Structure 1
């Protein structure tokens, strides 16, 4: 009977662990969604994409690790001013620099 009581506790801990390692929304900069993931070793991983309701690689225009725009096949990239991309890249730099993200 005691074992049954522990099942919800263990499921809750496992869910919290997975949620901790998922990407969390930090900010929206010039229409770009800035997200961050903190792994078990407290390493920061940040990404930026134009929200479209699809999955990250197949249906979202996003920036790669070097800050270049990636447009998945079948999508078109709207004309964006270079200044707005610079703002997005700066937000990603702030995200990667510290656990404290200041917009």
Structure 2
């Protein structure tokens, strides 16, 4: 391996509590989360969301930094028109970059 920055598809890892929360949701909501996951692991940059670089997220989903003062930190994907969210970070490493899902919530 040359040590160059790797590109998509990215690996996605789930904190145990986030995986358990996702697995306990109704099938329709899990399918929506899976569609968000599919977009995040294939988009060139899971953080950048400019006007000309919008991903093909499902209807009612949007992504933003959790804190505007930390644009490279924890991000939130609101889904199901704001009824739920996924908190995730993107670890930009030369070897094995990955997205880590830290929390899933839906009401």
Which interval holds the TM-score relative to the shorter structure?
A: under 0.3
- TM superposition score normalised by structure 1: 0.27
Q: Greater helix share, 1 or 2?
A: 1
Q: Greater strand share, 1 or 2?
A: 2
Which structure has more RCO (C-alpha within 8 Å, separation ≥ 6)? 2
The structure whose Rg is larger is 1
